[in-house]
Amino acid sequence: MKLTTKGRYGLSAMFDLAVNYGKGPIPLKSVADRQGISEHYLEQLIMILRKAGLVKSVRGAQGGYMLAKKPSEITVGDVLRALEGPIGLVDCVLEQDPVECEKAETCIMKLVWEKIRDSIIQAVDSITLQDMCNEAERRKASAHNYMYYI
Amino acid sequence: MKLTTKGRYGLSAMFDLAVNYGKGPIPLKSVADRQGISEHYLEQLIMILRKAGLVKSVRGAQGGYMLAKKPSEITVGDVLRALEGPIGLVDCVLEQDPVECEKAETCIMKLVWEKIRDSIIQAVDSITLQDMCNEAERRKASAHNYMYYI
DNA sequence: CAGAAAACCAACTAAAACGATAGGAATTGA
DNA sequence: TCAATTCCTATCGTTTTAGTTGGTTTTCTG
């Protein structure tokens, strides 16, 4: 019941792009450096995110990547779905193209998996990149106040 | 973000034992047959559940396994934790022995993973094996009524 | 125009995890 | 005694993961 590094690294990178939103294209190398990820590996992940319509790219020198929408319009769920596939702990209750088993009609377990899936969906869809940026700002502010008044 | 077969098979088996609760020890072979699982593989899983204190065993002929507590006292979370380990999509927010990263203090992502983890915990801990049995009974009853009154 | 910076792309690979299987030893009821 | 059953250890093929390698193409800048 773990995320792969795709999901982790991918959300890191998206958060980084969200923090730098509005500053033009951000070179992937700088994202990889800040987040401590192999640039070449991150390249593969960002390609997935681009094909999912979550980031845009600008080629050539001074190029890079940027969010395709406002941070407030991208949820953690969008990112995780793009990188990890449809949400669901078990194939028979995936959001997209669930793999039905023979006894799906009567399966009591299916009910359990659906309930867990729905609670995950609720959580990931309720957090946007903007929320994460806001929290980062809030922390920076309170750290500043602390240093100022000490 | 998938469960392994440990979690799936394990909950199947536990549900089977719950349905047969109070009937004495149930041979693992019969559980494996009903649930369509390799007996030998299930053996490894039930051993884990036994060591976690969720099932008891009776050795020898006419032996088998039974729940160590009432179905109402065993949650889906108990079973999944025993088989899949502490809950959490990412190592740094595991319920037990989280693997702290260097920047845990300032990590915004951690907040996200915690929120997802908590929503999973809430879901799995709110469902008992008894709930599953009740649902199975309810379905059997309504199927019966349907056939009776048609 | 040259060269550097960057995205884009395809193929390969080592290591780990997964999902078993194999083969037996120990226990116990009939 | 013997058949049923739990208990235990080891092995193993396949798939997935988490990269690495080695480029090609595009575009800005000096």
Average pLDDT value for chain A: 95
| Mean pLDDT calculated for residue range A2-22 | 98
Average pLDDT value for chain B: 95
Burial A64-98 (b: 16+ CB within 10 A, else e): bbbbbeebeebbbbbbbbbbbbbbbbbbbbbeeeb
Residue B146: what pLDDT?
61
Per the CB < 8 A criterion, the answer to whether A14 and A54 are in contact is yes
CA–CA min distance A61, chain B (Å): 31
| Mean pLDDT calculated for residue range B94-122 | 93
CB contact under 8 A, A3 and B1: yes
In angstroms, the first-to-last Cα distance of chain B is 44
Tell me which amino acid residue A140 is: K
Domain at B5-149: CATH code: 1.10.10.10
CB contacts < 8 Å between A and B, how many? 93
Instruction: Please give the Cα distance from A102 to A104 (Å, whole number).
Output: 6
Instruction: Please give the Cα distance from B147 to A118 (Å, whole number).
Output: 33
> In chain B, which residue's Cα lies nearest the Cα of A128?
B112
Say whether pLDDT at B105 is over 90.
no
Q: pLDDT digits over A78-105, tens only?
A: 999 999 999 999 999 999 999 988 887 7
> Does A134 touch chain B if contact means CB atoms closer than 8 Å?
no
Do the bridges between strand A64-67 and strand B55-58 make them parallel or antiparallel, or are there none, so unpaired?
unpaired
Q: pLDDT digits over B61-89, tens only?
A: 999 999 999 999 999 999 999 999 999 99
Nucleotides of D under 7 A from a protein CB: 3-10, 16-22, 25-29
> Does B107 touch chain A if contact means CB atoms closer than 8 Å?
no
**Cα A101 vs. chain centroid, distance in angstroms?**
30
How many CA atoms are closer than 13 Å to the CA of A85, on its beta-carbon side? 13
Residue A147: what pLDDT?
61
Instruction: Please give the Cα distance from A80 to B101 (Å, whole number).
Output: 21
Percentage of chain A beyond pLDDT 90 is: 88
Q: Which two tokens mark B9?
A: 């098979």
| Mean pLDDT calculated for residue range A137-142 | 90
Where residue B19 falls among pLDDT bands split at 50, 70, 90?
A: very high
Do the bridges between strand B64-67 and strand B55-58 make them parallel or antiparallel, or are there none, so unpaired?
antiparallel
